[in-house]
Amino acid sequence: MFEGKVAVVTGASRGIGKAVAQRLAAQKATVIINYQRNAELAQALVCEIEEQGGKAEAYKCDVSDEQQCQDFLAAVVKKYGRIDILVNNAGVTRDGLLMRMPEEDFDKVININLKGTFHTMRLVSRQMLKQRYGRIVNMASVVGVCGNAGQANYAASKAGVIGLTKSAAKELASRGITVNAVAPGFIETDMTDVLSEKVKETAVSQIPLGVFGKTQQVAAAAIFLASDDAAYITGQVLHVDGGMVM
């Protein structure tokens, strides 16, 4: 499906980003695995993909840093000549009640989750405009739609991602570039593994399907939006949440 395409996946060393990278590689894309700290995990994923006959390369970049993003993406274009797909998955949480939240925790989440998405979209869109083709998929969240106590910073960042997605979709549509978002609910990842059993039970009680989702289920949604099957879909938010937001 993606043979000959170059795909950049941010925050791809583990979790949802890893699942997206694996699926893209399995469908013949050349996958650029971005990471910030987990070099060993990123390189292990590259090896895994190559052992299965795929093509992948790992690049270190802090997406909240504009210069690092510029250097990273310029290096990709220089080597491969194009970027066809961008999946913005890099993200962090720094949970806490609003009235007690340190400013640095708010800034950290906004800078990576929202500003990082802005940096990569702005830079990659320039290349996609030259190509007159591109697929951008941003990882939002159900909490960006409905909010969540103790996650004011995270919810604000993901609501911002949704607004950014819709605005960019309108700006880029005439050049053959689609921009969409995936909004996962509670997914089995490192982020949810640290939750207490009580919190997990409460979360499950809010999910009509009654279970946490899998990273591969979110990846499947992202892959669809990155494919030519979704060529007539842009500016949309696809919820993968077991029915939490209806």
List, by residue number, the catalytic residues.
154
Count of CB atoms situated within 10 Å of the CB of 237: 18
Let me know: does 161 contact 140? Beta carbons within 8 Å: yes
DSSP the chain: --TT-EEEETT-SSHHHHHHHHHHHHTT-EEEEEESS-HHHHHHHHHHHHHTT-EEEEEE--TT-HHHHHHHHHHHHHHHS---EEEE-------B-GGG--HHHHHHHIIIIIIHHHHHHHHHHHHHHHHT-EEEEEE--THHHH--TTBHHHHHHHHHHHHHHHHHHHHHGGGTEEEEEEEE-SBSSHHHHTS-HHHHHHHHHT-TT-S-B-HHHHHHHHHHHHSGGGTT--S-EEEESTTS--
Residue with tokens 């059993």: 197
Q: Which amino acid belongs to residue 24?
A: L
